[in-house]
A and B are shown apart, each in its own frame.
Chain A
Amino acid sequence: MNRFAELLDRLAFEPSRNGKLRLMLEYFRGVPDPERGFALAALTGALSFQHAKSGLIRALISERADPVLFDLSYDFVGDLSETVALMWPAPLHAAQDDAESPTLTAVVKTLSTLGKAELPAQLARWLDHLDETGRWALLKLVTGAMRIGVSARLAKTAVAMLGDKEPDEIELLWPGLAPPYLDLFAWIEGRAGKPATGDPVPFRPVMLSHAIEETDFAALDPAQYYAEWKWDGIRVQAVAASRPNGTRVTRLYSRTGEDISASFPDLADALAFDGAIDGELLIMREGRVQSFNVLQQRLNRKTVTAKLLNEFPAHLRAYDLLVEDDKDLREQPLSLRRARLEALIARLHEPRIDLSPQISFGDWATLARARSDPASAGAGPDADAIEGVMLKRRDSAYLPGRPKGLWWKWKRDPFVVDAVLMYAQRGHGKRSSYYSDYTFGVWTAGENGDELVPVGKAYFGFTDAELLEIDRFVRRNTIERFGPVREVVHEREQGLVFEVAFEGLQRSTRHKSGLAMRFPRISRLRWDKPPRDADRLETLEAILMKIEEGGRLTSATARP
């Protein structure tokens, strides 16, 4: 447990992806089976046991600590598990690494069989034999609140690095594996063959596109490409099959291979085919695709209620077919996969699944027109949920990753406004000596004339050289400091104007302006522009109203 606790501790503070990978790699290399396998399960969220509630933790500490001292401590530390871990009165006889210090393996195995009534006493015994970090890790584990900034994918990537394998290979095997993954580690370390995937509905690594640049078109022949709408939903892989005993199994995967079926049971139940479809998950109401703003209201909900299913029905808009029956089509050209997909969708007759239409075009100019006005180019009322067009080579095989020259995305131009830098905050990790997180505002009428109201925050979009310039500007023009945040001069004639690009707008009660930007980034520094010429809140409100009305909105109309 102590070694695992050290790993969690370091991961929680390590900001960089590479640093996290190195820490995990070292752990998997140095820690034997089955301990490392259970660690992998903990990191990927694959452990299932009844989680301890915070009430139980509170009860344990209240038997052992003075209530006033506990309250003062909790108040200072701010996190229940951490407070208890730090102030737990370890018995004198229990040295840090005594023989009774539990291993992660023992903890996981015990928890999976332990009755609810026995949990408090068992937890207390473990806590008695661990140090501060060990107790913290144990409490995070049993309460199911790890939050150490490591995704399941990243943990699998570290395991792959252990044996020079591709993370996608592990992703493919994953559904058939179980903690402590002895067969996986044996294969990774070359001690055994590849574990068989017993899963009838495995994830296949997805094919991604490159963003197209103006200069790319010259080398491309329109006749070799299909064009489709680029939907502003969630990329999913819908997989369905029958087990040998005849029972049906269906699964929805995110583009990284995460199983999201539980969040979309309405769609998962509608997958009445055998195969794997690549497509976009969208919300469909009365035959009309809804914007991402609507979809977002269904995402990140903990429980999927009947009301939610009813108000936000999930829909699959299909654009590729990877597997049909048990035939893998990925080596076949897209033209053939598309034909089979069209036939399959037609046979299915499932209102929740339809085909992503193709856009007919003879030259790039025609396609450019379609991109700037999808409603008139065949998308009709669905135009709201379109964020550009996709170009796919007709002869392209379905290749994992982002192969060059086969698929291109040509996104709609973002919205842009000119906003004024108001506050700057120091970044993290490599950027900890730079003011790299910026809050910017636009003008609105206030009690004493025009004033700036914050409308968003962005921490990328600029080059390293620009970061240096902005950092210098922030340091020289600070008017107030609040801890790591500096207020920067923002007056009519004095201040820094950013051109901010963003993908959408939503109403928000969390911001004073009443608005929240989607995916904001700094697209240009406007050293030439005085703050008085920056945009007004009315401009943003007009954009938002048009988005809400569902009217077609091109970027040209976004600018005043």
Chain B
Amino acid sequence: MRPQDLLVPTPAGLCCPPGGFHIDPVRPVARAIISHGHSDHARPGHGAVLATQETLELMRLRYGDAFAGNTQAIRYGEPITLDSVTVTLHPAGHVLGSAQIAVTANGLRMVASGDYKDAPDPTCAPFELVHCDVFITEATFGLPVFHHGDAAAEINKLLHSVALFPERAHLVGAYSLGKAQRVLALLRAAGYDKPIYLHGALDSITQYYAQTIPLGDLRNVRGTPKPDLAGAIALCPPSALKDLWTRRFPDPLTAFASGWMRVRARARQHGVELPLVISDHADWAGLTATIAATGASEVWVTHGAEDALVHWCDLQGLAARPLRIVGYGEEDEPDGADAPEANA
């Protein structure tokens, strides 16, 4: 079987005709396997959805109980057969419940990684390397300028600023699924034990994380008197950083936790005073090391800076093609941060 017969890029997303399903479809389909809960990959309205328990729970939190016709949860590593195809899910290290989707038929194994990172994250299972013939990768940070470094050092930068400006509220923009909870866990790991304040949009997902991961004393910004927020750390979705919402804080200082913060022009565009380079995606070194380690002889690139990564594959003698799937990367795209806050 040829790779292009096992998985076919279509406008709805990657389709597996022999298995009768789509992976992370951007339009409603009959059967979908979902890699993780971010809204650009996990959309409502499919007939049947297969995903990890955590991903299903997160979709339920965001879209309500009727987000799909029916659902089936599978554990990491548990094989499931769909017609002539075997599917297994493996930790992607991206956010809680995130999975790479391995599709095997007639001795050909293809891995659709979804979004992934090979860096440690206290809030989700670590990335698992899966050997395969074709590796389907993202390229959100697919340029050699992206090196995410040590997230704990970035958290220290934030705590240092809190110590230096104790009268200012520190607002940290963080995506509401995954990044916000990772920042909370990292703050606790760094020994910060004061209450941390949350924007309402982070509430339900954070509570869900807190069922299994201790995140300490969390409070709502709403209802907290302004003077109590002096010197406090508050987390919010990135779009709220420029919102009227910030006016309830005394002399707010804006931070933004994102891989994009590595590039100054990006940070400045957002009016960020304290850029924190913390990313839930693999950086350039992570992408290239992972591709090499999978042993894949062919690489497909779903979304992001695909030109540079495809060029790198060419240099390594790997067959590579960009899929240019429209609709991915929007949840984490900072330029979209001005859009109405639905789910980011």
Give me the interface of A with B, judged by CB distance under 8 Å: 10, 12-15, 19, 22-23, 26, 65-66, 68-69, 72-73, 76-79, 82-83, 86-87, 131-132, 426, 428-430, 432-433, 481, 483-484
Contacts and interface: CB of A to CB of B under 8 A. Distances in A.
A429 B273 contact: yes
Given A82-B263, A82-B264, A86-B146, 9 more contacts: A13-B267, A15-B273, A69-B311, A72-B311, A79-B265, A86-B147, A132-B147, A433-B242, A484-B338
A73 B308 CA distance: 9
B289 to A, nearest CB: 12
A86 B305 contact: no
Given A22-B164, A433-B242, A76 B272 contact: no
Contacts of A69: 143-144, 308, 311-312
Contacts of A26: 164
Nearest to B147: A132
Interface stretch (B117-125, B192-200, B243-251): B243-251
Select the residue from A12, A87, A433 with max chain B CB neighbours within 10 A: A433
Nearest to B246: A433
A401 B305 CA distance: 55
A73 B145 CA distance: 6
A350 to B, nearest CB: 49
Given A14-B273, A23-B164, A69-B312, A432 B143 contact: no
Nearest to A76: B143
Given A22-B164, A432-B254, A433-B243, A13 B144 contact: no
B18 interface: no
Interface in B250-275: 251, 254, 262-265, 267-269, 271-275
A131 B149 CA distance: 9
B1 interface: no
B165 A76 contact: no
Contact of B264 (A12, A15, A72, A131): A12
Interface of B: 143-147, 149, 161, 164-165, 241-247, 251, 254, 262-265, 267-269, 271-275, 305, 307-308, 311-312, 315, 338
Q: Chain A at the B interface: mostly helix, strand, loop or mixed?
A: helix
A132 B265 contact: no
Select the residue from B271, B312, B338 with max chain A CB neighbours within 10 A: B271
A77 B265 contact: yes
Contacts of A86: 144-147, 262-263
Given A72-B307, A76-B305, A22 B262 contact: no
Contact of A432 (B246, B305, B308): B246
A73 B264 contact: no
A191 B241 CA distance: 46
Select the residue from A13, A14, A73, A76 with max chain B CB neighbours within 10 A: A13
A10 B164 CA distance: 12
Nearest to B308: A72
B160 to A, nearest CB: 9
Contacts of B264: 12, 79, 82
Select the residue from B147, B245, B273 with max chain A CB neighbours within 10 A: B273
Nearest to A12: B264
A433 B247 contact: yes
Contacts of B145: 73, 76-77, 83, 86-87
Given A432-B241, A432-B271, A68 B143 contact: no
Contacts of A426: 242, 271
12 contacts: A13-B268, A15-B273, A69-B143, A72-B307, A76-B305, A77-B263, A86-B145, A87-B143, A87-B145, A132-B149, A432-B254, A483-B338
A87 B273 CA distance: 23
Contacts of B263: 76-77, 82, 86
Nearest to A429: B273
Nearest to A475: B244
B144 A87 contact: yes
Contacts of A483: 269, 338
The 9 A-B residue pairs with the shortest CB-CB distance, nearest first, are A86-B145, A87-B144, A432-B271, A433-B246, A72-B308, A73-B145, A87-B145, A73-B143, A13-B273
A484 B273 CA distance: 16
Contacts of A10: 161, 274
A334 to B, nearest CB: 43
Given A426-B242, A432-B271, A72 B305 contact: yes
B338 A481 contact: yes
Contacts of A79: 264-265
Nearest to B253: A19
A397 to B, nearest CB: 39
Contacts of B269: 483-484
A432 B269 CA distance: 11
Contacts of B307: 72
A505 B340 CA distance: 41
A430 B267 CA distance: 16
Contacts of B272: 13
Contacts of B305: 72, 76
Nearest to A90: B147
A12 B272 CA distance: 11
Select the residue from A76, A428, A481 with max chain B CB neighbours within 10 A: A76
Nearest to A66: B315
Contacts of A82: 263-264
Nearest to B277: A132
Select the residue from A23, A66, A69 with max chain B CB neighbours within 10 A: A69
B338 A78 contact: no
A391 B262 CA distance: 54
Contacts of A87: 143-145
A27 to B, nearest CB: 10
Contacts of B247: 433
A13 B275 contact: yes
Nearest to A25: B164
Contacts of A23: 164
A69 B312 CA distance: 8
B70 to A, nearest CB: 41
Given A68-B311, A73-B308, A79-B265, A430 B274 contact: no
A132 B311 contact: no
Contacts of B268: 13
B144 A19 contact: no
A481 B337 CA distance: 13
Contacts of B241: 432
Contact of B251 (A65, A68, A76, A430): A430
B273 to A, nearest CB: 5
Contacts of B311: 66, 68-69, 72
A432 B252 CA distance: 10
Nearest to A432: B271
B271 A19 contact: no
A19 B242 contact: no
B165 A22 contact: yes
Select the residue from A68, A430, A432 with max chain B CB neighbours within 10 A: A432
A272 to B, nearest CB: 49
Nearest to B251: A430
B149 to A, nearest CB: 7
A533 to B, nearest CB: 32
B165 A428 contact: no
A193 B174 CA distance: 51
Contacts of B254: 432
Nearest to B255: A13
A76 B144 CA distance: 11
A69 B310 CA distance: 10
A65 B312 CA distance: 11
